[in-house]
């Protein structure tokens, strides 16, 4: 879906429809609003993980939510409590409201409010234990949820609330504000910032042509740049909207290395790090080392900058007012640390340059072609449709399924997708079966990635849609459930998954022809869904077993029609299965013979299979 013409006002009105449906009470409206907004902000699938405190004797708290930050092997590195105060419609009357509500919440949590509901009393008990056991890795965040963004005056008042909160609860306290503008900003395709935000950056940069600045920036100045960005936009994640990696926390070794260097040798950071790339709408040099960046994105260096942010925030913000010799020495070294930086000017309509810069600057460090699927708008749309229509997670960005699973693991009450398929794998399955290129699917990736020949052939089909991707998912689920290639004595069977898909669809086409169904790709997808939505149904079993019989016979050296007797075979099974001529009858006549044998044998089950088509055509 293209969001370029979607105004904030239109988005806001549509978004609020769910809140106002059935004329709810003011308490219910606030609950709906806080739940929906916070869920979208934190990418939470279901509100059942929240603690609801709204209503009489709520102590100023509408909802509470705890999440865990995970490291390697899913060990918990720290915990964050969010206390949400919803300011829906007329309940928000400006700065005095914010400070008044914050004070009420502080008194509630501190045990100074004796008139509380049972839900709030239980929450307060949990928070007391949290404060007692909290470490520097834990956070306590008071979050104000409003329809429209806070004014500059209101934002300034958050600093007063931050000071008051830290006096009460220590330096783990933080205050945030979120609004519908926050969500709107995140869904924009070309310019996710709804207005021009100019962010200052101190760095040593020199021009290289008309569209590029190159040089270095101190670690402390990166942190200040990010603080200014967050203060201006109210959403640090916007800075990474076009980055194909996003932030993977400390789950990968590269992040641990970055963190270790910042902590132990910040002065040598520039020697050990590849640098970052920032794409901007425009830049202006104000002083020798001061630049103003208009609508910046970090398109390479997401992990680098976010790790810098996390480490410096903890060591500069979450400390007491006393002094420490080791900390002071670290600060001295920190001011010596730099990182290489490129600033690329894309202009007002520079989406193509932005995307290309993202692609090419992320070509290092094992960012593969499949990562760039996340930049394709149609896949962003299909991912949402797959989730909504079929409850299947379409992974268009590496690591996103792992992050999703981690969220569910930490919150057992969350109800969401339990299955997934990687977008590139779905395209390969589609290529193997629908496009009849199982060898290319097994042997190559670039043709299926954006810009590749088969990718274009698939996605340029006028009526290609989420149903086609779901049909591909069903075939993958079939082989996963059957543990295809994993529980067999046939040595190379695991390498024939794409060939199996090709054979299944060849057999399916014969059944479709029997019913005089046009053999176009859309119809094939419909028939796949009809048959394989029930994996234990007679039709699904018949097709799978017939295809499996072909593969099993093909690898049997005692069978006259085995692959070892094919004209194309050259004593290298890998090369044979990757050969693009694999499905050409003259090169693999024995494979063709085995498939035709199963087509004749499957006649006994053909009526059962074809019954699945009757409601479709």
Instruction: Classify residue 464 as left (phi > 0), alpha (psi -120 to 50) or beta.
Output: beta
96: exposed, middle or buried (C-beta count within 10 Å: 0-12, 13-18, 19+)?
exposed
Does pLDDT of 373 surpass 70? no
Does pLDDT of 247 surpass 50? no
% pLDDT > 70, the chain: 80
Class of domain 1-189: alpha beta
Does pLDDT of 171 surpass 50? yes
Q: What is the pLDDT of residue 79?
A: 85
Helix, strand or coil, per DSSP, at residue 139: strand
The rounded mean pLDDT for the chain is 81
Instruction: Give the model's confidence band at 70: pLDDT under 50 very low, under 70 low, under 90 confident, else very high.
Output: low
Q: What is the pLDDT of residue 13?
A: 78
Q: What is the pLDDT of residue 74?
A: 46
Element of type H or E holding 257: helix 253-264
Q: Are strands 282-287 and 173-179 parallel, antiparallel or unpaired?
A: unpaired
Mean pLDDT, residues 423-450? 88
Structure tokens, 128: 């007391």
Least confident of 126-130, 370-374, 571-575: 370-374
Does pLDDT of 306 surpass 90? no
Q: What is the pLDDT of residue 181?
A: 83
Helix, strand or coil, per DSSP, at residue 414: coil
HSE toward the beta carbon, residue 554, CA cutoff 13 A: 30
Element of type H or E holding 76: strand 76-87
Rounded to 5°, angle at Cα 410 from 407 and 413: 90
Q: Are strands 290-294 and 282-287 parallel, antiparallel or unpaired?
A: antiparallel
* Model confidence pLDDT, tens digit, residues 528-552: 999 999 989 899 999 999 999 999 9
Contact in structure between 25 and 95 (CB atoms under 8 Å): no
Extended beta strands in 96-192, E state: 139-146, 173-179
Instruction: Give the model's confidence band at 500: pLDDT under 50 very low, under 70 low, under 90 confident, else very high.
Output: very high
Q: What are phi and psi of 55, to 5 degrees?
A: 115, -160
206 beta partners:
214
In Å, how far are 126, 170, 457, 490 from 112, measured between CA atoms? 16, 18, 67, 71
- Higher-pLDDT residue of 119, 338: 338
- For residue 595, which of 502, 494, 479 has the smallest C-alpha distance? 502
Structure tokens, 470: 């779901």
Q: What is the pLDDT of residue 549?
A: 94
Structure tokens, 290: 């001061």
Domain ranges for the chain: 1-189, 190-367, 369-611
- For residue 188, which of 47, 411, 392, 354 has the smallest C-alpha distance? 354
Instruction: Give the model's confidence band at 221: pLDDT under 50 very low, under 70 low, under 90 confident, else very high.
Output: very high
């Amino acid at each position: 879906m293209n969001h370029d013409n979607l105004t904030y006002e239109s988005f806001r009105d549509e978004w609020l429809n769910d809140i106002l449906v059935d004329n709810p009470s003011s308490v219910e409206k606030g609950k709906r609003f806080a739940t929906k907004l916070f869920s979208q902000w934190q990418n939470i699938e279901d509100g059942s993980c929240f603690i609801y405190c709204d209503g009489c004797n709520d102590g100023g708290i509408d909802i509470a939510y705890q999440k865990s930050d995970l490291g390697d092997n899913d060990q918990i590195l720290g915990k964050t409590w969010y206390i949400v105060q919803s300011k829906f419609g007329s309940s928000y009357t400006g700065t005095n409201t914010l400070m008044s509500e914050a004070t009420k919440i502080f008194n509630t949590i501190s045990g100074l409010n004796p008139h509380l509901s049972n839900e709030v009393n239980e929450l307060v008990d949990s928070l007391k234990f949290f404060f007692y056991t909290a470490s520097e890795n834990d956070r306590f965040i008071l979050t104000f949820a409003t329809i429209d963004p806070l004014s500059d005056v209101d934002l300034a008042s958050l600093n007063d609330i931050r000071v008051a909160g830290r006096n009460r609860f220590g330096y783990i306290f933080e205050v945030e504000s979120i609004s519908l503008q926050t969500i709107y900003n995140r869904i924009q395709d070309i310019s996710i910032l709804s207005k021009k935000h100019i962010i200052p950056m101190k760095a040593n940069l020199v021009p290289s042509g008309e569209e590029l600045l190159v040089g270095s920036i101190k670690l402390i100045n990166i942190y200040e740049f990010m603080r200014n960005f967050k203060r201006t936009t109210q959403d640090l994640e916007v800075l990474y909207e076009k980055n194909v990696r996003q932030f993977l926390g400390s789950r990968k070794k590269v992040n641990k290395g970055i963190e270790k260097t910042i902590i132990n040798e910040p002065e040598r950071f520039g020697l050990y790090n590849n640098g970052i790339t920032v794409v901007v709408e425009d830049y202006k040099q104000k002083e020798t080392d001061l630049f103003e960046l208009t609508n910046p994105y970090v398109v390479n260096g997401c992990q680098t900058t976010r790790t810098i942010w996390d480490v410096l925030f903890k060591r500069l913000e979450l400390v007491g007012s006393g002094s420490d010799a080791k900390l002071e020495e670290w600060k001295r070294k920190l001011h010596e640390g730099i990182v290489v930086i490129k600033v690329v000017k894309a202009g007002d309509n520079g989406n193509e340059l932005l995307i290309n810069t993202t692609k090419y600057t992320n070509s290092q460090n094992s960012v593969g072609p499949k990562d760039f699927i996340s930049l394709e708008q149609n896949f962003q749309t299909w991912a949402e449709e797959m989730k909504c229509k079929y409850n299947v997670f379409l992974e268009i960005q590496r690591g996103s399924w792992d992050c999703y699973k981690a969220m569910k693991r930490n919150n057992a009450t969350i109800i969401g997708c339990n299955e997934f398929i990687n977008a590139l794998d779905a395209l390969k399955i589609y290529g193997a079966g629908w496009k009849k290129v199982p060898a290319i699917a097994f042997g190559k990736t670039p043709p299926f990635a954006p810009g590749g020949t088969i990718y274009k052939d698939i996605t340029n089909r006028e009526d290609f849609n989420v149903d086609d991707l779901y049909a591909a998912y069903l075939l993958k689920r079939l082989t996963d459930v059957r543990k295809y290639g994993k529980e067999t004595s046939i040595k190379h069977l695991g390498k024939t998954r794409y060939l199996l898909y090709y054979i299944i669809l060849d057999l399916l086409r014969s059944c479709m022809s029997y019913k005089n169904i046009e053999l176009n790709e859309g119809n094939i997808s419909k028939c796949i869904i009809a048959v394989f939505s029930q994996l234990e149904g007679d039709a699904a079993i018949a097709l799978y077993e017939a295809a499996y019989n072909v593969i099993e016979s093909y690898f049997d050296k005692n069978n006259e029609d085995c692959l070892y007797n094919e004209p194309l075979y050259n004593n290298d099974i890998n090369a044979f299965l990757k050969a693009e001529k694999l499905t050409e009858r003259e090169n693999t006549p024995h494979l063709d013979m085995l498939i035709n044998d199963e087509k004749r044998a499957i006649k006994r089950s053909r009526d059962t299979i074809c019954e699945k088509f009757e409601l479709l055509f």
